[in-house]
């Protein structure tokens, strides 16, 4: 049975990009693999959340994992900071990571450009912490979104480097896992790029979002002036809406609007109304479960305790061996 590891930063409510980019794969994998799914609260510290926000966001993501169908009896579901071994392995990997390669990471350069007043060391060494999260359980597969491909490649680099430096085969090289042909990237509503909380409130549709709010956001989504010739290519904002439609709507609905577009008869208002209602139909059962689980503190406490115990059992073995390989030995 293959080992699968992946996590999501607790930066607030989960959105459709999180669901289709990661959680959907979690659901498929939990029956067939030895899965470790975690809430990456160490990673979220790069944005300096308040203590209250940090705890609240961790709870929200935990609740939404469970509401989405992640089964704590089938998988090891844990909070990253419940594993001090992760922090130790992160430190050890930092010793063999180099400034040049870390500064070339695309996401680091993007974050540095967007937040020039908060270019902290945690942002720079983010790939080292992500690598520690993954290889601490000796993962074979990592279900990640398209934007994390470079980080996963660096994880493989760090695993190879450790094995080569100490002439061992401790860490396998994890591969990206997705059930489709390509890694899924869910577009946002602002006309460009992926769906994400950091791109602005109106860019993302959240799993727990009220129907009224979903309709409002979708109706405000960016479009263009319409096709100027039959069967013309779609602009990025319009293609983004069609991408979302393909995910939440029936094939017949998608085909109807494709035909409308290709014949230059499309009314974007009708497209948006249909898209909004189909998103609401998809998220409604999730929203109901989120409300129910969120109120059950005893259940959440039990899930977290069991997950931490299982995760630490795995992580402690790896770190113990890594320490001995490096030369940390008892007298």
d(CA 189, CA 221): 5
183: confidence class by pLDDT, cuts 50, 70, 90: low
Q: What was the pLDDT predicted at 180?
A: 59
Strand order of the sheet with strand 3-8? Answer: 76-79, 34-39, 3-8, 141-142, 175-176
Higher pLDDT, 199 or 140: 140
Q: What was the pLDDT predicted at 26?
A: 83
Is residue 264 domain-shared with residue 217, that is, in the same domain? yes
Is residue 310 domain-shared with residue 286, that is, in the same domain? no
203: confidence class by pLDDT, cuts 50, 70, 90: confident
Q: What was the pLDDT predicted at 257?
A: 96
In the chain, how many domains are there? 2
**Mean per-residue pLDDT, 223-241:** 92
Does the structure show a pLDDT above 70 at 325?
yes
Is the Cβ–Cβ distance between 124 and 102 less than 8 Å? yes
178: confidence class by pLDDT, cuts 50, 70, 90: low
Is residue 272 domain-shared with residue 312, that is, in the same domain? no
Is the Cβ–Cβ distance between 239 and 188 less than 8 Å? no
In a domain, 111, yes or no: yes
Query: What's the token pair of residue 124?
Result: 């720079």
**Mean per-residue pLDDT, 238-261:** 95
Does the structure show a pLDDT above 60 at 181?
no
Is residue 105 domain-shared with residue 124, that is, in the same domain? yes
In a domain, 128, yes or no: yes
Q: What was the pLDDT predicted at 45?
A: 93
Compute the mean pLDDT over every residue in the chain, rounded to the nearest whole number.
Answer: 91
Q: What was the pLDDT predicted at 151?
A: 83
Is residue 119 domain-shared with residue 13, that is, in the same domain? yes
**Percent over 70 (pLDDT), the chain:** 96
Is residue 60 domain-shared with residue 134, that is, in the same domain? yes
- Give the range of the structural domain holding residue 88, as residue numbers without chain letter: 3-176+296-326
CATH number at residue 137: 3.40.50.620
Is residue 265 domain-shared with residue 307, that is, in the same domain? no
Q: Which entry of 141, 194, 217, 272 is annotated as an active-site residue?
A: 194
Is residue 158 domain-shared with residue 221, that is, in the same domain? no
Closest CA to 175 of 147, 142, 133: 142
Is residue 319 domain-shared with residue 234, that is, in the same domain? no
Is residue 112 domain-shared with residue 208, that is, in the same domain? no
pLDDT digits (tens, 9 = 90+) for 79-122: 999 999 999 999 999 999 999 999 998 888 888 898 888 999 99
Q: What was the pLDDT predicted at 182?
A: 56
Does the structure show a pLDDT above 90 at 22?
no
194: confidence class by pLDDT, cuts 50, 70, 90: confident
d(CA 319, CA 317): 6
In a domain, 187, yes or no: no
In a domain, 164, yes or no: yes
111 is catalytic: yes
Higher pLDDT, 202 or 183: 202
CATH number at residue 281: 1.10.240.10
In a domain, 183, yes or no: no
Q: What was the pLDDT predicted at 179?
A: 60
Q: What was the pLDDT predicted at 210?
A: 95
Q: Which entry of 111, 141, 217, 272 is annotated as an active-site residue?
A: 111
Query: What's the token pair of residue 329?
Result: 């030995």
The pTM for the full model equals: 0.83
109 is catalytic: no
Q: What was the pLDDT predicted at 8?
A: 82
Q: What was the pLDDT predicted at 164?
A: 97
In a domain, 192, yes or no: no
Q: Which entry of 141, 197, 217, 272 is annotated as an active-site residue?
A: 197
Is the Cβ–Cβ distance between 85 and 316 less than 8 Å? yes
Max mean pLDDT range (107-121, 131-145, 300-314): 300-314
234 is catalytic: no
Beta-ladder partners of 142: 176
Closest CA to 3 of 311, 328, 321: 311
Pairing relationship of beta strands 141-142 and 76-79 according to DSSP bridges: unpaired
In a domain, 72, yes or no: yes
In a domain, 16, yes or no: yes
Q: What was the pLDDT predicted at 199?
A: 65
Is residue 259 domain-shared with residue 168, that is, in the same domain? no
Is residue 281 domain-shared with residue 316, that is, in the same domain? no
């Amino acid at each position: 049975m293959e080992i699968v590891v992946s996590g999501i930063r607790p930066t607030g409510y989960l959105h459709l990009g999180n669901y289709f980019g990661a959680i959907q794969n979690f659901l498929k994998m939990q029956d067939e693999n030895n899965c470790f799914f975690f809430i990456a609260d160490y990673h979220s510290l790069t944005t300096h959340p308040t203590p209250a926000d940090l705890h609240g966001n961790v709870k929200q993501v935990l609740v939404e994992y469970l509401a989405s169908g992640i089964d704590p009896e089938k998988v090891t579901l844990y909070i990253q900071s419940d594993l001090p071994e992760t922090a130790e392995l992160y430190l050890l990997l930092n010793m063999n990571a180099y400034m040049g390669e870390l500064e070339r990471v695309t996401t680091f350069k993007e974050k540095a450009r967007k937040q020039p007043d908060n270019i902290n060391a945690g942002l720079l060494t983010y790939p080292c912490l992500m690598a520690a999260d993954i290889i601490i359980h000796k993962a074979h597969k990592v279900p990640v979104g398209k934007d994390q491909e470079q980080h996963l490649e660096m994880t493989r680099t760090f695993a190879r480097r450790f094995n080569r430096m100490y002439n061992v085969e401790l860490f396998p090289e994890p591969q990206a896992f997705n059930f489709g042909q390509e890694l899924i990237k869910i577009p946002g509503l602002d006309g460009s790029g992926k769906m994400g909380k950091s791109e602005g409130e109106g860019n993302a549709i959240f799993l727990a979002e009220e129907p009224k709010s979903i309709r409002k956001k979708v109706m405000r989504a960016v479009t263009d002036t319409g096709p100027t010739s039959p069967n013309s290519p779609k602009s990025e904002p319009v293609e983004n809406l069609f991408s979302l439609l393909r995910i939440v709507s029936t094939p017949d609905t998608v085909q109807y609007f494709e035909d409308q577009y290709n014949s230059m008869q499309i009314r974007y208002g009708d497209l948006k109304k249909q898209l909004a209602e189909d998103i609401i139909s998809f998220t409604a059962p999730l929203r109901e479960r989120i409300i129910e689980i969120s109120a059950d503190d005893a259940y959440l406490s039990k899930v977290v305790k069991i997950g931490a115990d299982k995760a630490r059992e795995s992580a402690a073995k790896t770190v113990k061996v890594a320490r001995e390989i490096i030369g940390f030995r008892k007298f």
